[in-house]
Amino acid sequence: MGVVTLLALIDYFTQEDHTPYRSLVFLINDGEEDYLNGAVSYAHHDLAASTRTFFNLEGAGAGGRATLFRSSDAEITKFYKGAKHPFGSSLSGDGFKLRVIKSETDYLIFDGDMGLRGMDVAFWQPRARYHTQFDNDAHSSIDSVWHMLGQALDTVKGMSEDKTDDDALEGRTAPGVWFDILGDSFGVFRLPTIFALTMCLLTITPVLLGAVVFILFQRKKLYLFSKAGKDATGSPLVPLSGWKGFFRYPIAFILATGIVSAIAYLIYKVNPMIAYSSTEAIWSCLLSLWFVVAWTSLNAAAVWRPSASHKIWTLSWQWFGWWLMLIAVAVAQDRYEIGGLYFLLTFYGGVFVALIISIVGLFTLPAKDELIASIREHDNEIEDNDDRSQLAGLVGHRNDDDDDEPSEQTPLFGRSRRNIGGSSTSRASITGSDSCSRGKECSKRPYKNEQYWGKYLPKYTWIAEMLFNIPVPLIFTAPIGLLIGTAIAQVGADGGNEAMFTGKS
């Protein structure tokens, strides 16, 4: 398939209307499996002295799309942006760099021994047939050939028409970080740029978050860390319960992760080879199990102890976890030049925006003293308008206007206290357990047993929070998961440790 691609490129560039600005060398070599002898032979050829860049076509499988495996630097990778259907992630290049992928291609000679700048493009499906008697054209497709040819043609055209000085072509720039977006767009960045962005997120976002929290504190709207509001005499009046639900998410996360890890170990012990034949089934099983366990535990906690601050605490824990992960990403970028973890920045950025939206919603709350004063005012109104003590209704005293005779439906402890502004001032109403029959009033009430101040929180910010926290990161992450899942389906073919999957050494 690589030979067919090269012959098609030769046919294109030898046409009169397609004469390239730079000279092109088309190398059809053999002996790769015997210590890369074909590439080594070219390194000793006279033509080797005149070459500056390369575009290597490889195969880690017989089909699928041709992915950009490796690249020498960011500047040379920009030529790949001209491809109509780009595909690849710099995470695969890190796999070679860290020796997770132990096999090699001619890239090792061109980039390492000859010092050329270029890219490594290869098929990567179906991995289970790689290096077997089934690694043939019968298990490939014409679409795979067209994809490789299209990538090669667009990239080589850009490289051959470049008018940069030859001396500049010999100099390397910073390592590149690249990725495709849904197979239609392609992003290329210098690793120092991604590192600078990572450091900015690590430092600026906590400061911004702290500033918002401080403003909330100054305006007395920071209910999250409050236990109970107090009146002018200092005695507790309203249970604010800001800490309610604080430990809920980490407990659910640990529980779900532990169960999934146990099931993964069980699969490894019972049927390790299923990873070869049913990779998608493994992914679906483990991911579904994690979400089911997490949802069940969080939902049970919400039924047992409803909390208006549950969402904010959950997003806060997620943000803190990704912030710690971002520290590890920064270390990998700075010390080991690992740029393939760029997708973790999208997770961090998404959950941070969602958290900010959720916390900004606290500005809709009344100040704590205003909330307490309003409840005290309601209490005073009832005391002034009732000629008997408020306790009278709680011990079976009937008002003068209660003309109907007692029956089996008459409350044992008298009439319930009147509602003011759609919410009762009794202790039950403060916790949200009173009944409600009027739609307008119900929209202003907290959910049952949630904190009283929860009724002031906006109810529709979850849409924006969900969009930033889930779909946006998945656009960058899902293709990587599919790529890695398929690429490691047969690590033995790459010289990897088969014991990792088979349990045998």
Q: What is the DSSP string of 292-349?
A: HHHHHHHHHHHHHS--TTHHHHHHHHHHHHHHHHHHHHHHHHHHH---GGGHHHHHHH
- Final residue of a domain: which of 160, 183, 206? 183
Verify whether residue 32 is a known catalytic residue: yes
- Verify that 369 and 434 share a domain, yes or no: yes
231 CB-near residues (< 8 Å, 6+ apart): 237, 372, 376
Asked if residue 402 has pLDDT above 70, the reply is no
Predicted TM-score of the model (pTM): 0.83
Is residue 311 within 8 Å of residue 358, measured between CB atoms? yes
Asked if residue 429 has pLDDT above 50, the reply is no
Helix (H) or strand (E) holding 118, with range, is strand 117-123
- Verify that 274 and 324 share a domain, yes or no: no
d(CA 159, CA 497): 38
* Residues 310-336, mean pLDDT to the nearest whole number: 96
- Verify that 133 and 263 share a domain, yes or no: no
Token pair in block for residue 234: 């200092």
Higher pLDDT, 324 or 232: 324
Is residue 483 within 8 Å of residue 124, measured between CB atoms? yes
Asked if residue 418 has pLDDT above 80, the reply is no
pLDDT above 90: percentage of residues in the chain: 56
Higher pLDDT, 254 or 233: 254
Domains contained in the chain, number? 3
- Verify that 387 and 284 share a domain, yes or no: no
- Verify that 205 and 290 share a domain, yes or no: no
Catalytic annotation, pick one of 16, 32, 104, 441: 32
d(CA 81, CA 178): 10
d(CA 97, CA 331): 16
- Verify that 177 and 225 share a domain, yes or no: no
Mean pLDDT is lowest, of 107-116, 144-153, 273-282, 416-425, for 416-425
For residue 265, is it within any domain? Answer: yes
The residue type at 5: T
- Final residue of a domain: which of 183, 209, 229? 183
Treating both helix axes as pointing N-terminal to C-terminal, what angle do 343-360 and 191-218 enclose, rounded to 10 degrees? 10
- Verify that 100 and 28 share a domain, yes or no: yes
* Residues 437-457, mean pLDDT to the nearest whole number: 69
d(CA 31, CA 45): 16
pLDDT score at 375: 66
**CB neighbour burial string for 126-141, b if at least 16 within 10 angstroms, e if fewer:** bbbbbeeeebeeeebe
Question: How many CB atoms lie under 10 A from the CB of residue 163?
Answer: 6
d(CA 113, CA 105): 13
* Residues 106-134, mean pLDDT to the nearest whole number: 88
Token pair in block for residue 75: 């500047």
How high does pLDDT run on average in the chain? 83
- Verify that 298 and 315 share a domain, yes or no: no
| CA 380, chain centre distance (Å) | 52
What is the gyration radius of the CA atoms in the chain, in angstroms?
33
For residue 350, is it within any domain? Answer: yes
- Final residue of a domain: which of 277, 304, 331? 304
Higher pLDDT, 231 or 441: 231
For residue 478, is it within any domain? Answer: no
Q: pLDDT tier at 396 (50, 70, 90 boundaries)? A: very low
For residue 18, is it within any domain? Answer: yes
Helix (H) or strand (E) holding 199, with range, is helix 191-218
d(CA 205, CA 349): 9
By CB neighbour count within 10 A (0-12 exposed, 13-18 middle, 19+ buried), where does 286 fall? middle
- Verify that 283 and 378 share a domain, yes or no: no
Q: List, in sequence order, every residue forming a beta bridge with 117; answer none if it has no partner.
A: 53
pLDDT score at 445: 61
**CB neighbour burial string for 235-267, b if at least 16 within 10 angstroms, e if fewer:** eebbbbbbebbbebbeebbebbeebbeeeeeeb
- Verify that 158 and 96 share a domain, yes or no: yes
For residue 474, is it within any domain? Answer: no
Nearest to 308 by CA among 374, 242, 222: 242
pLDDT digits 0-9 by tens, 168-222: 666 667 999 999 998 889 999 999 999 999 999 999 999 999 999 999 999 999 9
pLDDT score at 398: 44
DSSP character for 424? E
- Verify that 48 and 65 share a domain, yes or no: yes
For residue 495, is it within any domain? Answer: no
d(CA 445, CA 454): 8
Measured over the CA atoms of residue 90, residue 92, residue 94 and residue 96, the dihedral's sign is: negative
- Verify that 343 and 458 share a domain, yes or no: yes
Structural domain including 452 reads 190-244+309-395+418-469
Higher pLDDT, 460 or 444: 460
d(CA 431, CA 447): 9
Nearest to 429 by CA among 439, 438, 413, 442: 442
Q: pLDDT tier at 419 (50, 70, 90 boundaries)? A: very low
For residue 484, is it within any domain? Answer: no
Nearest to 308 by CA among 241, 356, 255: 241
Is residue 365 within 8 Å of residue 456, measured between CB atoms? yes
Asked if residue 165 has pLDDT above 80, the reply is no
DSSP 51-73: --EEEEEEESSSBSPPEEEEES-
